[in-house]
Each structure stands twice: as structure tokens, then as C-alpha cells.
């Protein structure tokens, strides 16, 4: 049965590219906001949701991390894709005609050197693919956008310059959201926890992983929006939740923390 997967952004967004990588046969549905993707999965209108959780250059996607704290959705998979920014224009437009560039603020920041060198006025827009769609609709001959090759194809735009980012090592990690835990056995787990308000509380938790010789692949902290002065820690580690060592480790973490949430065990993405 064909799955219905939701992603944030317009058609051509990097999230859509990630969704196609995860399941090329799925029906994909775009949403304006991250919260709409989460709600779609929660209320059963979507089978799965795919959202970015962290970028190698910009760090965590804070809104997504906040929603993981506030909802009961599970993580059942991950995708990592290379972000390749391209300068797109209307068909027939040449580089000398272009005076400004629209895109998401992060995309503009990641191409800062190129934009300054070419004296292009930066105009922030809500979405990379959204800026491509806007250019297609408004037909601004002196404007360009930074977006994916998929956006160029979808909105009939010309790729004027390829791979214009300042740093070529630009990857985004996406997670797959579901109402239920993954059915297949995984080798990577994600948890969220809050520590007690005492000296060495975080160290006590991390010590459990060190003593069990379990490799951590991510640790982040975020203030909890609805609880002033409370912080949530996001932790990913290698291991299977069916393994006796991991089961015992998670029990120890629960006993050491004020709040504990197991987000899921899933297959680690391999290139």
C-alpha cells in the first residue's frame, strides 16, 4: 500500500528530496509549517512525516526539537542528504541582468561569500523552493533564487550557477516521524531526558553510556518552552533497544532523570 508522507516546504524543497530518498514510491504532501507535519501524523492523516533535525553547518533545527518534546511521535528512520545550493533565474536571463537573490535565510548565509563577491542584494524568503515558485509566478528578470535542482525542474527555471555554497560539506539530517515505533529492528536510538537540579546530574547520565561502552552520535540541549528554567537533552546513540545491554542502560537512565522519553530505535542511515 502506498504511504502518504508529509514534509515542510513547497514542492522542490530539500525535505521533498529527502522524502524521495526514503521512499520513492510514496505519495508526498507539502505543508507550510513543521507543526502541520507533526499534527498530520498525530491525527492519522499522514502515515509518516519527514522533517530536518540538524544541519552540519547551522546545527539543530530548534522548532523540530521543541515539537519532539511536546508531542508523542516516534522516530522510525533517518535520511542524510548533501545540500547543494544553486543560483536559479528565469529562462533567457543572463548573469549581468541579476541584481538580487531570494531564498531562506540559512541558504543565503551559507552562500554569503558568493553573494558578496557578485554584489547581489540578499532578500530573505520563507523557503528555498518557495522562492523558486515565487520567481516563476512573478517573472522578475532582475531577480534570482537559491534553491535545489529539483526546484529548477519543477518551476522551469535556468540553473545559472551550480554549487555556490561557501562550504561544500553541507549535510542535513532528516528524521522520519510515526505514531508507532519502527517494526524493523534498528541499530540507532534517540531519547530525550531532563536531569535533576543537582551538581553532576548530566555527568551521571553520560557516565552510564561511557561505562557501557555505548557510542553517542549526538547530544543537544534545549530550554523547554512551557517550563521556565527546565532544559531537555536530546541524545542519539548506537545500539538496538532489543539488546539486553541497551535495555539495562535505558532503565538506569530512567532512574537518573527527572523526565525520560524514548523516541525510537531505527536503522542508521548509510551513504
| Residues with catalytic roles | 172, 174
Neighbours of 151 (CB within 10 A): 31
Q: What is the DSSP letter of 269?
A: P
* Whether the Cβ atoms of residue 76 and residue 264 lie closer than 8 Å to each other: yes
Neighbours of 249 (CB within 10 A): 20
Number of helices (H), then strands (E), in the chain: 9, 15
CA atoms of 238 and 233, how far apart (whole Å): 17
Give the H/E segment covering residue 102: strand 100-103
* Whether the Cβ atoms of residue 94 and residue 115 lie closer than 8 Å to each other: no
Nearest residue to 241 via CA among 170, 164, 173, 183: 183
* Whether the Cβ atoms of residue 74 and residue 45 lie closer than 8 Å to each other: no
**Number of residues assigned to the chain:** 271
Distances (CA, A) of 133 to 7, 10, 11, 136, 163: 17, 8, 8, 5, 20
- Backbone angles phi and psi of 61, in degrees to 5: -90, 100
Amino acid at each position: 500500500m502506498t504511504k502518504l508522507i508529509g514534509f515542510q516546504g513547497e514542492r522542490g524543497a530539500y525535505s521533498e528530496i529527502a522524502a524521495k530518498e526514503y521512499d520513492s514510491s510514496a505519495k508526498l504532501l507539502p505543508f507550510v509549517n513543521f507543526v502541520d507535519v507533526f499534527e498530520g501524523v498525530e491525527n492519522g492523516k499522514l502515515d509518516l512525516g519527514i522533517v530536518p533535525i540538524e544541519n552540519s553547518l547551522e546545527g539543530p533545527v530548534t522548532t523540530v526539537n521543541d515539537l519532539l518534546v511536546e508531542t508523542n511521535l516516534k522516530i522510525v528512520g533517518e535520511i542524510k542528504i548533501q545540500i547543494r545550493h544553486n543560483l536559479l533565474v528565469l529562462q533567457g536571463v543572463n548573469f549581468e541582468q541579476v541584481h538580487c537573490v531570494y531564498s531562506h535565510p540559512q541558504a543565503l548565509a551559507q552562500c554569503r561569500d558568493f553573494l558578496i563577491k557578485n554584489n547581489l542584494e540578499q532578500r530573505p524568503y520563507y523557503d528555498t523552493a518557495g522562492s523558486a515558485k515565487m520567481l516563476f509566478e512573478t517573472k522578475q528578470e532582475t531577480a534570482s533564487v537559491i534553491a535545489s535542482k529539483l526546484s529548477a525542474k519543477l518551476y522551469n527555471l535556468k540553473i545559472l550557477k551550480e554549487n555556490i555554497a561557501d562550504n561544500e560539506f553541507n549535510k542535513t539530517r532528516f528524521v522520519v516521524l510515526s505514531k508507532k515505533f519502527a517494526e524493523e529492528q534498528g541499530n540507532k536510538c534517540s531519547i530525550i531526558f531532563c536531569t535533576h537540579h543537582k551538581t553532576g546530574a548530566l555527568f551521571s547520565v553520560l557516565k552510564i553510556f561511557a561505562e557501557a561502552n555505548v557510542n553517542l552520535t549526538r547530544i543537544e540541549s534545549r530550554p523547554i518552552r512551557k517550563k521556565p528554567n527546565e532544559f531537555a537533552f536530546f541524545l542519539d546513540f548506537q545500539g538496538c533497544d532489543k539488546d539486553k545491554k541497551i535495555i539495562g542502560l535505558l532503565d538506569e537512565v530512567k532512574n537518573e532523570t527527572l523526565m525520560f522519553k524514548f523516541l525510537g530505535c531505527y536503522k542508521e542511515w548509510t551513504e
